[in-house]
Amino acid sequence: MGGADPVVVDVLLADHPFEGFLDPVRRRAEAFGAAHPEYEIRISTYRYWTPTGREDFVRILDEGRVPALVDVFFIETQTARDAVSATGGPLFTPVERALAGRREVLGEKVVVDDLIDAARRYYSQDGELVSMPFSVSAGLLYANMTMLRAAGITEVPRTWEELEAACRALVRADGGPPHGVTWAVDGWFFQDAVCQQGGVLAEPANGRTGRARTTDLASGEMLAWVTWWQRLHEEGLYLYTGAPQDWVGTFEAFTEGRVAFLCNSSVMAQSVVSAGAKAGFEVLARGLPHRDAVPHAGHVLGGDSLFLAAGLSPEVEDGALAFLQFLLQPEGAAAWHKASGFMPATHGSLRLLEAEGWFAERPHHLEAPRQLADSDGSPAATGALLGEFWHTHADLVRAMGDVLERGADPVRRFGEATVAAQRRLDDYNARTARRQAERGPGGGSGTD
C-alpha cells in the first residue's frame, strides 16, 4: 500500500475486572499489525459486568452502528443476531458466510473448522458459524482433597447423589467443615443443571430449530435441580452466603475451609488451585456433578464470541476476518488460555498445549475441555438461545433467593418466574418482528 495510511479495523471487546485482562489481546493486535503493516487493529472496551453494563451494551446495538468486530457475552447471542443496522439491514453478518469457503484470508489460515465442537455448535445457526468463539468456559467442581481424605473420602463426587453423600460425611466428621459445598446463585448453574439432564429452557428445541417462542423455568428438570438444592440448604450441606451471584464470597468460603467443595468457572481454576496451596490444602478440579437418575446429555458453555459487522468495505472486512483467524491460531488461542484462564477454543491449541506439557503440569486446566466434549450434541446439550436471556437469568436468581431465604415453594415460585419470563420473551419477539418488518426483505443472522 506504499505510504498510504493503514486500514483501521475497530474492535470492541468486553473487559473483565482483572488487572491487565486484555493485555494479551492488545499484544496480538500489535503482532497482527507487524505482520500486516497495511492494517491497524484499534481496540476499545466496554464493561458488561457493571451495574449499567448490560444496558450500555444493548444501547450500542440499538444505535445500529458498531465497530468491525464486537465481543458479545454468550447469553446476548440472540440479541446480537436480531440487531438492526442504522441503514435498516442486519447489524452483523455470519462469519462463515463472509469467509465464503476461503481457506485463508490475507495469508492467515482459516480455523473455523478447528473450533472445539461445543463452541462451534453453540455459535452456529443451521450449520453456519455466525460468530467466532473467543473466550470459552465451563463450570467445574473444585474439591479440597486434604479435607476429603481426612474424612475417608478418596474420590471427587461425579453425581448429585455422590456429592450429597460426601457433604453429609464431611460435616459429621471430627474437625469437618460447617457446610459441605457452595456455589453462587447465578443463572449459569440453572442452565447447566437443565442441560445435563437433557431438558430445554425454551421451545422449539432450545431456540435451535427456530426462534424461541416459549420458555419454561418450572420444568421437571429445573425443579429436580431446585428442590435438591433446597434440601441441601435446609440440611446445612449447602452454604448460602446471603447474596445473589456471590462469586467472591463462595470462593472465599472454599479457600478459608468453611466448605470442602466449590462450584465455579473453569476460568478460576488456577486461582482456586493456587489459593488452596497457599492455605495448605490440595485442590482437584472435576466436571460439575450430574443427576444420576437420568442419562447425561452434556454441559453448557460460558464466555463470549466475536461478531462481524455487516456492510463493511472489502478491505476492512478482510482485515477483521484475518484478525479473527490470527487470534485463534494454535499459538494465539493457547496464549489466551494461559493468560486468561479461558479454555483453548481450538483443537490445534489443545494439541499444542498438550505437546508442551502444559496439562501434565496443570491437569486442572484439562477438565473444562473434557466436560464440554462429554456431550450428546442435542439441542439440550448445545444450550439455549432466546431473547432477553439476561433477564431470564435474573428471574431464576430472584426465584431461588426466595426459596433459600424465605422458604418459598419451588413449584409456585418458579411458575411465577416462568410467567414473568414468558411475558418478556413475547414482548421481545414482538419488537423484533416489528423491526424486521420495517427493514423489509434481506435476511439477517437472527433466527426467525
Alpha carbons 125 and 163: distance in angstroms, whole number: 36
Of 287, 262, 273, the closest CA to residue 368 belongs to: 287
* Residue 221 binned pLDDT confidence (cut-offs 50, 70, 90): very high
Higher-confidence residue: 49 or 65?
65
| Predicted TM-score of the model (pTM) | 0.95
Domain with CATH 3.40.190.10 in the chain: 7-137+301-376, 139-300+387-427
Chain segment 350-404, per-residue pLDDT in tens? 999 999 999 999 999 999 999 999 999 999 999 999 999 999 999 999 999 999 9
pLDDT at residue 447 is higher than 80? no
Q: 72-85 burial by CB neighbour count: b if 16+ within 10 A, else e?
A: bbbbbbbbbbbbbb
Residues 6+ apart with CB under 8 A from 117: 372, 373, 375, 377
Residue 443: per-residue pLDDT:
42
Q: Coil, strand or helix: which one is 324?
A: helix
Tell me which H or E stretch contains 125: strand 124-125
At residue 411, φ and ψ (nearest 5 deg) are -60, -50
Please tell me the number of Cα atoms within 13 Å of 292 on its side-chain side: 10
Distance CA 229, CA 206 (A): 24
**Architecture of the structural domain at 7-137+301-376:** 3-Layer(aba) Sandwich (3.40)
Please state the CATH superfamily assignment of the domain spanning residues 139-300+387-427 in this structure. Answer: Periplasmic binding protein-like II (3.40.190.10)
Residues 6+ apart with CB under 8 A from 57: 46, 48, 73, 76
